Structure 1
Amino acid sequence: MVALAVILLIVGLILLFLGIFVKVASFLLWIGIIVLIIAIILGLVRFLRRSV
């Protein structure tokens, strides 16, 4: 699960930067934000499970 969160974080950051640099493909910005949010949620769930 850790690897999945890290991969989603990296993909999200790449899509976020592509969305910022390429104005024509602005939907990549939203996809990047959504993937980042999913990665953050997965990381928090992993952290909370380890803490309990």
Structure 2
Amino acid sequence: MEDVRSILDVRTKKTAARWLQSKGIFYFRIGRAYKIPKVHLMNYFFNVSSI
């Protein structure tokens, strides 16, 4: 989540988690950790930048 937080340039992990949920990016949780396959994150950013 720290990596996603820095990529999105948000201050808190909670904000990053809400952003993931609202944007519909695939992720899963293992315990308290959020796991986001890199390919899903890359696809989202490439699709947004092409619009």
Which TM class, normalised by the smaller chain length? 0.3 to 0.5
TM-score, normalised to structure 1, is 0.32
Task: Report 1 or 2 for greater relative contact order, CA contacts < 8 Å, sequence distance ≥ 6.
Answer: 1
TM-score, normalised to structure 2, is 0.32
More helix by share: 1
More strand by share: 2
